[in-house]
Amino acid sequence: MAWKRFPVPSFDYAPLKGRAYERPAMISSDEAQKIIEGVADGQADLAGGYFVEPDPALLGSLDFRGEFQDMAMCVLPGPGAKLTGNSYAWFNQRAFILDANTPEASTLFNWRTPRPMNTLLGPEEGVTLEHQLVYLLSGRIVSDYTRGNRVMIDDAWTPPKGRAGFRVIAACDEGEDNFHESCFEFSWAT
CA distance 42 to 38: 6
pLDDT given at position 94: 95
pLDDT given at position 90: 85
Would you say how long the chain is, in residues? 190
Judge contact between 38 and 140, C-beta under 8 A.
no
> Quick one: residue 41, left, alpha or beta (phi over 0 = left, psi -120 to 50 = alpha)?
alpha
Using one digit for the tens of pLDDT, what is the confidence trace for 30-81? 999 999 999 999 887 999 999 999 999 999 999 999 999 999 999 999 889 9
Residue 62: which H helix or E strand, with range? helix 56-62
pLDDT given at position 1: 44
Cα dihedral sign, 137-140-145-148? negative
Judge contact between 89 and 173, C-beta under 8 A.
no
Residue 176 has pLDDT above 90, yes or no: no
Using one digit for the tens of pLDDT, what is the confidence trace for 5-36? 555 557 778 888 888 888 889 999 999 999 99
Q: Which domains does the chain have, with CATH numbers?
A: 51-189 (2.60.120.400)
DSSP 99-128: S-SSTT--EEEEEE-SSTT--BSS-TT-EE
Please report which confidence band the pLDDT of residue 132 belongs to, taking 50, 70 and 90 as the band edges.
Answer: very high
Using one digit for the tens of pLDDT, what is the confidence trace for 145-167? 999 999 999 998 999 999 999 99
pLDDT given at position 38: 96
CA distance 169 to 185: 9
pLDDT given at position 44: 78
Cα dihedral sign, 141-142-144-149? negative
